Amino acid sequence: MNKLYALALMTALTAPTVHAQQSGKDVYTKVCATCHSTGLAGAPRYGNGGDWAPRAQAGTAKLYQSALAGTPKGMPAKGGNTSLADAEVKGAVDYMLAAVKDALKAAKPEPEAKKAESKKEEPKKEEPKKAEAKKDEPKAASAAAPVAAPAALPVTEAAAAGAAAAASAPGDVNSFNRLLKPVGKRNLPPPEDGIHDPANDGTHALQPPLAAYGGLPKSNAGNRINWVEALNQKKINPRYDRTDPRAEPVVMDLNIVREVKGSMPDVVYPHKQHTEWLDCSNCHPAIFVPQKGANAISMAAILLGEKCGVCHGKVAFPVSECRNCHSKKKDLPVKAATAETAAK
């Protein structure tokens, strides 16, 4: 009896865990909403009949295929979450289609003939009366007198002194990039970092960065902390939603390769490491237009704080770490042998 019980217990412990299938709504909320709620990269918006009408004409089977295998326009297979079951992905498609079932009729374009008829029947506006009414209308207050400029914000003596010192100090070619500071000026305590107000008592109560970074994995760049590795090791747990501590990130495991001229390795942009920290709306479409060939990215633009330079050099590793981005080696063409070498 004991042997049978032990065998049953072992079987139960070693049996694979069967996960319950997620509903279409759950999959949409966790994965699809990233693009389909805002229309990112031309994705049809949830509940928008006009966006879905041309796609719905192709049939549900075609929509399933696009969702499962991805599309040439940029949608990754299964929305970037390849761990989803096919049935879960199809359920998400069904959920989005159900939301536009009635909207498709409302979004149907009005025939041109009907538009022309409605234009004919529309009575003409009496312009003279409108002009008279405008004449009697008193002028707006904004036109009568200029709006007073808002009062300048108070500036503390410490802040004013710091600004004056910065203005008079000799310019450093790397002063724009706070992560390219010498060793002695990295991770200064809050009262000395030039960001916080040293005259405020609360500044002195803040934990110094060096004390906070003690147990985190090191890096050779920026503030000398490997933040991605710290996340992988569960040393840190950044909050994905400011108001909801239980919100989970929508991670997209998708690499974008940008070919580079010359012998420099191509640039690999990993969505996974970025979406573990950020929502897609942080970058798209204000910084990067989600369309191939629509972004003119150069080192000059990055050094000026544009494109990748919006974060890198400020809150992410600096541009001195070339190999962090230029990470895909390219096969260089082998030079053809000269006639002299061939003769030998």
Query: Could you please report the per-residue DSSP string of 171-212?
Result: P-TTTT-GGG--GGGSS--GGGSSSS-TTSHHHHTSPPHHHH
- Asked whether residue 157 carries a pLDDT value surpassing 90, the answer given is no
pLDDT tier at 303 (50, 70, 90 boundaries)? confident
For the ranges 70-79, 162-171, 310-319, 325-334, the maximum mean pLDDT occurs at: 310-319
pLDDT tier at 176 (50, 70, 90 boundaries)? low
**Tokens linked to 239:** 């909050």
Cα 217 to Cα 226: distance, rounded to the nearest angstrom: 6
Cα 36 to Cα 105: distance, rounded to the nearest angstrom: 20
More confident residue, 105 or 210: 210
The contacts found for 20-26 with CB under 8 angstroms, 24 or more apart, are 21/85, 21/87, 21/88, 21/91, 22/84, 22/88, 22/91, 23/91, 23/95, 24/88, 24/90, 24/91, 24/92, 24/93, 24/94, 24/95, 24/96, 25/95
The helix or strand, by DSSP H or E, that contains position 279, with its residue range, turns out to be: none
Cβ atoms within 10 Å, residue 229: 13
The residue whose two tokens read 């003409």 is 124
Q: Three-state DSSP class for 312?
A: strand
Share of the chain above pLDDT 70, in %: 67
Cα 176 to Cα 318: distance, rounded to the nearest angstrom: 11
92: exposed, middle or buried (C-beta count within 10 Å: 0-12, 13-18, 19+)?
A: buried
The helix or strand, by DSSP H or E, that contains position 260, with its residue range, turns out to be: none
Q: 209: Cβ–Cβ under 8 A, 6 or more apart, which residues?
A: 187, 188, 189, 223
This prediction has a pTM of 0.48
pLDDT tier at 136 (50, 70, 90 boundaries)? very low
Contact status, residue 329 vs residue 265, Cβ threshold 8 Å: yes
Cα 289 to Cα 263: distance, rounded to the nearest angstrom: 27
More confident residue, 153 or 209: 209
The structural domains of the chain, ordered by start, are 24-106 (1.10.760.10), 255-328 (3.90.10.10)
